[in-house]
């Protein structure tokens, strides 16, 4: 019997997969040869696509080589004028306008290397995009289609006449003919769609593929008049206590208050667990903080129980935690109402924390999914570094919670002014929760100063002065306020100013090194 032929040596599988960072240079090369004379992507564009909507970025790979790609963004198309430009609908190619709950998928680019154009690569990419639309349960796929052969007929035909001729197969257009064969229909013709598309004379067809599997939400309409989130901010009094149980009783009181007001979140201050030091009888701050870390399991169990029992999301202030590397970290925990837990390490450590407690720094900006959208936590000093808030916003955060602990008015105002600045710069809501009172027998925690609050961007639809609510200075109390995520979304698109849309990506950018 002859030896069996190994057919695997002849295989050259074409793989359709999502984009990876190592594909960037290949994508740029394909774009330059596919669209000569047009401005290609920048690395910053591709980084933004991968960070914001990775599942919408698809590539075709053959024998280990990337030979084509397609890019998409998810949005509510009713928010855009049908006469939109490519820059309008893609935020100049950075897709920071991506809406994870959007009702439509918008195709912003498809390209295939010229050497592989008769292998149905484009069709495979389109099918992958259609499958994504089904998985996401969006109404349809929309795109602005170039008509690159129009310049050959412009002297004898209007754009409409040219499109009609292509639709009747009297003229072949490499883009429009392909889209029609892939079940897309023409909705309208846009002018000045792509500023460097000279071959199309800057015209484009608005094309749509309807998702027959789309299941509409079980409401009368997908339009929202409001999307409120209620936040209860605790301004916590630091006073001497005699046991962990006494601390737990105080915490439960505030959670109960928040739950009675139907709050979605209750927010506690930074390192308010240092109140436990008041009964540890340890004068050395370095030793006291290490004893404090021994309460970590009890602290986590307490707030997990409260979150589930009161059906509320808890920003559990922050707590000093000793981890396996024997280092102490300042960590803020999110205790979700379903019993799950997330954590954010403090990234910027103050000179005071280093000197007295030997605290180590974290190095990751986290954004957390909740039943009220995406949120971030930036502990005290971290809110004073604008890059962190920008990174969190680009990851989708709508609210940044800032537990803080300051001993004087100057320190407090640094936190407050920066939180309000971050709200304006990033068109987000910010929340600060601080400690008041004193622990006279606890070294380095003897005095506190705070005025906690909830802040919004500054525009007509938001609260006057950008203050949703604030406590009185230096009194133990709560402030409860509603922030509206629907107003936030609308203002990002159509506000008096549009900080996110108007950023000069061609001049500056923030690189988040942890993801590289």
Active site residues: 270, 346, 380
Nearest to 273 by CA among 301, 244, 249: 244
The SS3 assignment for 274 reads helix
Is 455:429 a contact under the CB 8 Å cutoff?
A: yes
Q: Can you name the residues that pair with 145 across neighbouring β-strands?
A: 205
The SS3 assignment for 77 reads helix
Written as one string, the DSSP assignment of 345-359 is E--S--HHHHHHH-E
Written as one string, the DSSP assignment of 123-189 is HHHHHHHHHHHHHHT-SEEEEEEE-TTGGGTTTT--HHHHHHHHHTTSS--TTHHHHHHTT-EEEEE
* Residue 326 backbone class (left: φ over 0; alpha: ψ -120 to 50; beta: rest): left
Is 348:364 a contact under the CB 8 Å cutoff?
A: no
Please work out, in degrees rounded to the nearest 5, the angle formed at the alpha carbon of residue 469 by the alpha carbons of 307 and 333: 30
Residue 140: Cβ within 10 Å count: 20
In order of 97, 112, 504, the CA distances from 51 in angstroms are 13, 23, 18
Nearest to 65 by CA among 23, 106, 28, 94: 23
Q: Distance (Å, rounded) from C-alpha 285 to C-alpha 141?
A: 60
Q: Distance (Å, rounded) from C-alpha 367 to C-alpha 376?
A: 5
Q: Distance (Å, rounded) from C-alpha 237 to C-alpha 278?
A: 13
- Residue 459: how many CA atoms within 13 Å on its side-chain side? 22
For 229, the token pair is 């989130």
Alpha-carbon dihedral angle through residues 418, 408, 443, 322, given to the nearest 10 degrees: -10
Is 230:481 a contact under the CB 8 Å cutoff?
A: yes
Nearest to 71 by CA among 21, 117, 111: 111
The bridge status of strand 140-146 relative to strand 104-112 is parallel
């Amino acid at each position: 019997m002859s030896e069996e032929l190994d057919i695997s040596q002849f295989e050259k599988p074409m793989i359709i997969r999502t984009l990876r960072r190592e594909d960037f240079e290949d994508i740029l090369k394909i774009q330059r040869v596919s669209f000569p004379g047009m401005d290609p992507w920048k690395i910053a564009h591709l980084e933004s696509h991968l960070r914001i909507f990775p599942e919408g970025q698809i590539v075709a790979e053959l024998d280990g080589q990337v030979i084509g790609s397609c890019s998409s963004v998810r949005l509510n198309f009713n928010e855009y004028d049908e006469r939109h430009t490519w820059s309008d609908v893609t935020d100049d190619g950075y897709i920071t306008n991506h809406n994870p709950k959007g009702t439509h998928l918008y195709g912003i680019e498809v390209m295939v290397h010229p050497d592989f154009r008769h292998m149905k690569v484009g069709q495979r990419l389109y099918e992958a995009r259609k499958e994504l639309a089904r998985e996401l349960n969006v109404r349809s796929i929309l795109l602005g289609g170039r008509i690159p052969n129009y310049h050959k007929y412009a002297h004898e035909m209007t754009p409409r006449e040219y499109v009609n001729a292509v639709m009747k197969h009297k003229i072949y257009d490499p883009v429009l003919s392909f889209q029609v064969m892939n079940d897309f229909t023409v909705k309208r013709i846009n002018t000045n769609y792509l500023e460097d598309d000279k071959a199309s004379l800057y015209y484009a067809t608005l094309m749509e593929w309807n998702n027959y599997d789309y299941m509409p939400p079980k409401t009368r309409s997908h339009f929202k008049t409001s999307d409120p989130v209620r936040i209860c901010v605790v301004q916590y009094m630091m006073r001497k206590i005699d046991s962990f149980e006494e601390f737990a009783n105080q915490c439960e009181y505030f959670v109960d208050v928040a739950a009675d007001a139907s709050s979605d979140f209750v927010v506690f201050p930074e390192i308010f667990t240092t109140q436990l030091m008041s009964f540890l009888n340890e004068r050395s701050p370095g030793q006291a903080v290490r004893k404090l870390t021994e309460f970590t399991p009890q602290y986590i169990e307490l707030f997990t129980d409260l979150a589930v029992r009161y059906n509320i999301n808890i920003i559990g202030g922050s707590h000093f935690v000793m981890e396996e590397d024997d280092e102490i970290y300042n960590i803020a925990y999110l205790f979700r109402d379903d019993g799950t837990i997330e954590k954010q390490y403090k990234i910027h450590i103050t000179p005071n924390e280093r000197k007295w407690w030997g605290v180590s720094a974290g190095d990751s900006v986290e954004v957390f999914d909740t039943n009220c959208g995406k949120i971030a936590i930036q502990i005290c000093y971290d809110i004073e570094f604008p890059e962190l808030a920008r990174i969190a916003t680009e990851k989708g955060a709508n609210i940044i919670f800032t537990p803080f602990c300051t001993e004087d008015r100057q320190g407090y105002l640094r936190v407050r002014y920066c939180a309000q600045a971050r709200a304006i710069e990033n068109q987000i809501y910010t929340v600060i929760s601080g400690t008041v009172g004193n622990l006279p027998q606890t070294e380095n925690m003897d005095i506190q100063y705070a005025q906690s609050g909830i802040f919004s961007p500054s525009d007509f639809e938001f609260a006057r002065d950008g203050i949703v609510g604030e406590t009185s200075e230096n009194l133990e109390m709560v402030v409860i306020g509603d922030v509206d995520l629907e107003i936030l979304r609308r203002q990002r698109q159509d506000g008096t100013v549009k900080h996110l849309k108007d950023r000069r990506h061609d001049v500056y950018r923030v690189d988040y090194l942890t993801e590289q």
